[in-house]
């Protein structure tokens, strides 16, 4: 498992996965151009599933987070290279 610290702006992973903006207020963009991306999900700090399998045919997702409670969440992405956990903030 690869964990990155929460920061501001955009998080880029070696597999080409990009998550932005951080923190997100209205929309969270997730780019997954590598076809080896098998699935993704987003969980809250309690580990509860919020969204699962949001990849679209263009290799990415735009997720409306406007009504999500503020706080920390974790984007989990499974690729051929393993599971990546990306911490994000929703404001």
Predicted pLDDT of residue 75 = 93
Which residues of the chain fall below pLDDT 50? 1-6
Above pLDDT 90, what percent of the chain? 46
DSSP string, 12-49: E-TTS-EEEEESBSSEEEEE---TT--EEEEEETT--E
Structure tokens at 7: 């920061």
CATH 2.60.40.3080 fits 2-90, yes or no: yes
Q: Rounded to two decimals, what is the model's pTM?
A: 0.80
**Domain boundaries along the sequence of the chain:** 2-90
Predicted pLDDT of residue 13 = 66
């Amino acid at each position: 498992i690869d964990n990155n610290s929460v920061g501001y702006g955009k998080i880029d992973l070696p597999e080409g996965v990009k998550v932005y903006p951080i923190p997100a207020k209205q929309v969270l963009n997730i780019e997954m151009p590598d076809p080896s991306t098998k699935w993704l999900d987003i969980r809250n700090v309690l580990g509860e599933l919020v969204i699962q399998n949001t990849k679209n045919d263009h290799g990415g997702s735009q997720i409306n987070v406007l009504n999500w409670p503020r706080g920390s969440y974790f984007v989990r992405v499974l690729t051929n290279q393993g599971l990546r956990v990306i911490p994000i903030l929703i404001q």
